[in-house]
Amino acid sequence: MSKKENSLSDNYIKTIRQFLPINRKAEKDYLASLQKKVEVFCENDTDITNSDIYIEFGNPREAANNYLNSVDIEKLMKAINIRKVIHHAFIYIAVVLFIVSFIICFVVSGIKKNQIRDREFSLRAQEYFNELMEEQKS
């Protein structure tokens, strides 16, 4: 199979994948099977075009719709909902981690400022104490 034919097959499958709402094992198996069929089709003729593939297998939207019409809608909806929950959980966790990181940075910055202020105060107190001691000696 030439690079052109392989590219046509890959592009066709890639376009179909974009029309599928989820990418589970069942969808991957369907796309792999369809890709093999398209590759076999392309091997039989050296002058294959996208139009030839669309005529034989349908345009990518039709191919995706045919697949979606053949699957159990309940299972598909459940998988889509699980994907949504995972996606929302990921976003929630990312936001929480961002907020916690911000708070930690703020607290650490405050602690560092307090430590610097305490050191400066200690140095000033020590200098003042030393001055008092020198005044008493004189």
Q: What percent of the chain has pLDDT over 90?
A: 48
- Structural domain that includes position 10: 1-71
The secondary structure element, H or E, covering residue 37 is helix 25-43
Residues 38 and 3 in one domain: yes
Residues 78 and 91 in one domain: yes
**How far apart (Å, rounded) are the C-alpha atoms in residues 29 and 70?**
14
36-73: b (≥16 Cβ within 10 Å) or e: eebbebbeeeeebeeeebeeebebbeebbeebeeeeee
Domains in the chain, number: 2
Confidence grade of residue 85 (pLDDT, cut at 50, 70, 90):
very high
Residues 58 and 124 in one domain: no
Residues 51 and 92 in one domain: no
What pLDDT score was predicted for residue 47? 82
Residues 23 and 60 in one domain: yes
Tens digit of pLDDT for each residue in 48-62? 888 999 999 999 999
The pTM of the full predicted model, rounded to 2 decimals, is: 0.61
Is the per-residue pLDDT at 1 higher than 60? no
Residues 99 and 117 in one domain: yes
Is the per-residue pLDDT at 2 higher than 70? no
**How far apart (Å, rounded) are the C-alpha atoms in residues 76 and 98?**
33
Q: Which two tokens stand for residue 128?
A: 């003042």
